[in-house]
Amino acid sequence: MVKLLAILSFIALAALPFASAQSIENATIEREEYAVYSAMIIDYVDEERGVMVIANPTVRRDEPLTVKTLEFYSTDLKTYITAANAPVVAQETLDDFLRRNKSNRWLTPKFEIDRKYVVVDYREITKLASDMGHPNTAPEEWKPFFKEYPESHGFISLSRVGFNQQMDQALVHVGWRCPSLCGHWSFLLLAKKDGVWKVVGESNRIVS
């Protein structure tokens, strides 16, 4: 009996470093995800001058993607882009993005942005902005939404963020939706330099 207890104690102690490392890794990923969101969201949705409504949870992205299908153009207007210096997503960044976006993640108000924002359950948004899927959705259908969020013009959707192993490249999908099927959606590529995330490329932009 004593021997059995000793073995169980050893197993429990041996598992502690793994549990600790897993928690640290998750905390790091979460911190970097919100840093990426915070670095790009205001500039991407520059139509929003009031309260930003962010849909919860994240949107799953399960479409087939390859490095070739994600051809990025630079967001730096001062740089002349050629095929040789265009931003390129690393395969490991894309793989991590696809893996993380197999499921949703519930967001919390951890965005560090100089703007008022609210994180709202998507089901609540669909109740307030009815018939969003119809191409002729009139602004009147959104009246309950704008009554609840009078300083907003629409809502924002986010994917999970994919990273490379060095945690200095990130890939995220972001969208902004407004009445009558208006809005825009893009993949954004970010790079981290001197501890700061910055958007370096945009791909597959859809404007409606």
- Residues above pLDDT 70, as percent of the chain: 78
Bridge partner residues of 56 (DSSP): 121
Q: How confident is the model at residue 178 (pLDDT cuts 50, 70, 90)?
A: confident
Residue 49, φ and ψ in degrees, nearest 5: -105, -10
Residue 78, pLDDT > 80, answer: no
Q: How confident is the model at residue 46 (pLDDT cuts 50, 70, 90)?
A: confident
Q: How confident is the model at residue 15 (pLDDT cuts 50, 70, 90)?
A: very low
CA atoms within 13 A on the CB side of 112: 9
Angstrom distance (rounded) from CA 6 to CA 3:
5
Structure confidence at residue 98 (pLDDT): 96
Structure confidence at residue 74 (pLDDT): 78
Bridge partner residues of 170 (DSSP): 163, 190
Name the burial class of residue 72, with classes exposed (0-12), middle (13-18) and buried (19+) by CB atoms within 10 angstroms of its CB: buried
Structure confidence at residue 20 (pLDDT): 41
Q: How confident is the model at residue 76 (pLDDT cuts 50, 70, 90)?
A: low
Residue 143, pLDDT > 80, answer: yes
Q: How many CB atoms lie within 10 A of CB 8?
A: 10
Residue 8, pLDDT > 50, answer: no
This prediction's pTM: 0.83
Structure confidence at residue 136 (pLDDT): 53
